[in-house]
Amino acid sequence: MGLLHGEVTAGILRVFREVHDELRHGHPEVIYQRAMVIALADAGFAVAREVDVAVTFRGRVIGRGRLDLVVNDLVVLECKVARAVELEHVGQLLGYLKATNYEVGLVLTFGRRPDQKRVVFRRLASRSAASASPHTFATKLLPSSHPSLPAVVGVLTISDRATSGVYEDKSGPAIQSVLTRWIASPWEPVYRLVPDEQPLIEAALRELADDLHCALIVTTGGTGPSPRDVTPEATVAVCDRLLPGFGEQMRAVSVKTVPTAILSRQVAGTRGSSLIINLPGKPAAIEECLGAVWAAVPYCIDLIGGPRLLFSAEAPAPFRPTSA
């Protein structure tokens, strides 16, 4: 299963960066909106501007809002002049998604540095048409730390050739196989496969962290020095905090058997209550690299507010302070 409207959102983000690079910061929002309309149309997208939205309460219209842009009748865009995406921006966009039939939106901020936030709102399918209420909505998932739900673990494979069908992805399944042997508490995997495109990688990481509330996100592929290897750059772009020790330890262990391991640029970091770890793309290196840092994974997830995971005797022994 791919990212919801992933190709459209990736194309929009490419256009957004082009517009920001050309106009830079300092203009009013309407200038950026008009520029986005022109650039998106030039890129082959269908764009509707200033779309009216009725806001209802208990079945009655109590006001109206206006969407900045709607692209391909699939994705809502809100263009803001700000240093970064703020919680208020996300809340406003989420309100618009709830009031419409759209499920995906993007907040784009035009400041000194471009910033963006992908927002997804999926309605739970009703059990019967008779019981469905047009004004009743629910988010897709509760956070993984909710006691009645298993922990959610994201597995993200980044590969041009696997995405295009040149070969079958074996690294993603290898990660799932290792975690199945190591994690003893209830958990469920969420698998994503994207090409080596930084906007797509960033979008997938944001979906796994923000929308699906994954406690752990493990990526594979795209960590080398070639021009198409951009997984570390995408990871750094979405993380709140980086954890350099993870990459250092993985390289220190791998270089003992593979001299070229020093070329690997994998990083790790946190986004909200999600721990993100890059692994190499070779299936044979998956267990070795993950095992090199696994002792610190459970306690890190504890510290950032994730679920408390339990592990089998087969897993590398996790370390938790006696006070934890």
**pLDDT for 185-197, tens place per residue?**
889 999 999 999 9
Quick one: average pLDDT of 246-270? Answer: 95
Q: Which of 9, 17, 24 is nearest to 39 (CA)?
A: 17
Residues 6+ away with beta carbon under 8 Å from 167: 161
What integer best gives the mean pLDDT of the chain? 86
Single-letter residue type at 294: W
Whether 142 shows a pLDDT value over 60: the answer reads no
- Angle of CA points 171, 177, 178, to nearest 5°: 95
- When pLDDT is cut at 50, 70 and 90, the band that residue 95 belongs to is confident
d(CA 125, CA 137): 9
Q: Which of 106, 88, 81 is nearest to 28 (CA)?
A: 81
- When pLDDT is cut at 50, 70 and 90, the band that residue 323 belongs to is low
Q: Pick the range with the lowest mean pLDDT from 66-80, 126-140, 191-205.
A: 126-140
Q: Pick the range with the lowest mean pLDDT from 29-43, 51-65, 235-249.
A: 51-65
Whether 29 shows a pLDDT value over 70: the answer reads yes
**Quick check: helix, strand or coil at residue 108?**
strand
* Percent of the chain with pLDDT strictly greater than 90: 62
Q: Per-residue DSSP letters for 11-28?
A: HHHHHHHHHHHHH-S-S-
Give 165: exposed, middle or buried? Use CB within 10 Å, 0-12, 13-18, 19+.
exposed
Beta pairing class for 274-279 and 216-220: parallel
Domains of the chain: 6-120 (3.90.320.10), 151-303 (3.40.980.10)
Q: Which of 49, 28, 27 is nearest to 38 (CA)?
A: 49
- When pLDDT is cut at 50, 70 and 90, the band that residue 139 belongs to is very low
- Tell me the per-residue pLDDT of 156-199, one tens digit each, with 9 for 90 and over: 999 999 999 999 999 999 999 999 999 998 899 999 999 999 99
d(CA 3, CA 6): 5
d(CA 202, CA 197): 9
pTM score > 0.85 for this model? no
Whether 79 shows a pLDDT value over 90: the answer reads yes
